[in-house]
Amino acid sequence: MKRRVKSFIIFSLMGFTINFIWIIGSGFYLNSFASSDETYPGLKIFSDVIDLIEKNYVDPVDSEALIQEAIQGMVHSLDPHSTYLPKDAFASLQDDTKGEFSGIGIVITMRKGTLTVVSPIEGTPAHKAGMKAGDIIFKVDGTPTKEMTIGEAVKKIKGRKGTPVVITVLRKGFSKPVDFEIIRNVIPIESVRHISLKPEYGYIRIYNFTEKTVHDLKAALEKLESSEKPLKGLIVDLRDNPGGLLPQATGVADLFLDEGIILSIKGRLEKHTNVYRAHENGGDRNYPIVVLINGGSASASEIVAGALQDHKRALILGTTSFGKGSVQTVRPLRDGSGLKFTIARYYTPSGRSIQATGIKPDVELKRRIMEEQEEGANDFKFLMKESDLKNHLEAEPSKKTEEKPKSDDVLKKDSELDNTEYGVLKRKQLLLDNQINHALELLISYDIFTKLQG
């Protein structure tokens, strides 16, 4: 019997980072594997193995868990971005793309082995309750966090709207732990923030690509463009942006382009091949743009950077991006779980694949914050790239290269490079960032040279 379900095209980064999600596609059919003469014998062997383990293994086993682990192992062998999503993970994936979730509204990271609040999101229950940046989360509902991963902590903190959660924190200046009883609420995921760095020069940071990104970016641009004097330059910050929805990526690029190809995707099947083109905007958005990228800029953010770079619409500044040039689809399975697997490679307007190579900046500049900090804290040369991942796809189907080994430095630095800039944008603080500062100098210089040339 054939069963019709929905399919989704997605972009994602890696299992240990944020995954963002899908566009609804055409329906497809799941056909019985038994119809394949080649597959059926293999499934019989698999069934025999499960049966033997279930009946003879030294300890009782959970057959369902064994099957899920087997599926996960099979899918992981394909490439780093293909994965089996159990029910909880699939449900969480759907929440992420909607641009909101139910929780208390804090950004957390693992700092020196402790679960630390980076920032309470303004206006959320955590912010109203008095939680502060730097608070160490000691317990969640009485359970110590010492052995928890970030993922486990997030799962425990999130919950249904209207339900309470007790967060116990250690805070500098307090002699004992402090309990915050907080009622969960719907937390909007702010995808876009903006600020004027100085009159006529704007700054926009895009944190991820959710369902609201294009809408929010339009609103930010309208505010920056509505001043008495027209914009002379714009900085678009895509650093540490792990990606997101494909239509939002092409939509963002389309806001700055009036014609030409934004992106092309090519898969083994014709239905997985497509070309996305820009449309006439009918506006006066012709000011110069500097786009900031780094090794944490991946997937959808690389699509935007690549399109604007190829069309010579923006100057790209920073360090080489992550290098994820593949497209995934997420398909729901009959038990509420999901399967995410790679269906295509994508190419920038000029036809280049950035898979495992990344977007090379026009101006290479490593990030430094101009204040005291740990040595190398903002040096992204240790950030893991697509080419470091086991079984990564090559840029073309026929090309194979020797896998690059992961260094101890990559593994050591990885957990320290979480995106921690969800706080309110502050002009003075932003200008301590040498990449933002240099981008602003370039825009001002461009305006000066344009005037000199008449």
H/E element, 360: none
CB atoms closer than 10 angstroms to residue 226: 9
Side chain identity at 293, as an amino acid letter?
Answer: I
Two tokens at 355?
A: 């898979």
Two tokens at 58?
A: 């030294």
DSSP state of 418: -
Residue 386 CA neighbour count, 13 Å, CB half? 28
Q: Which of these is catalytic: 212, 324, 340, 413?
A: 324
Q: Answer yes or no: 92 catalytic.
A: no
**Taking a C-beta distance cutoff of 8 angstroms, is the pair 115, 137 a contact?**
yes
DSSP state of 271: G
Burial class (CB in 10 A: 0-12, 13-18, 19+), 240: buried
Q: Answer yes or no: 340 catalytic.
A: no
Pairing of strands 19-24, 8-12: antiparallel
Q: Which residue matches tokens 């700092």?
A: 111
Burial class (CB in 10 A: 0-12, 13-18, 19+), 452: exposed
**Taking a C-beta distance cutoff of 8 angstroms, is the pair 263, 250 a contact?**
yes
Two tokens at 150?
A: 């970030």
Q: Answer yes or no: 299 catalytic.
A: yes
H/E element, 439: helix 434-452
**Taking a C-beta distance cutoff of 8 angstroms, is the pair 12, 330 a contact?**
no
CA–CA gap between residue 252 and residue 261 (Å, rounded): 13
Backbone angles phi, psi at 151, to 5 degrees: -60, -45
Q: Which of these is catalytic: 96, 240, 310, 418?
A: 310
Residue numbers annotated as active site:
299, 310, 324
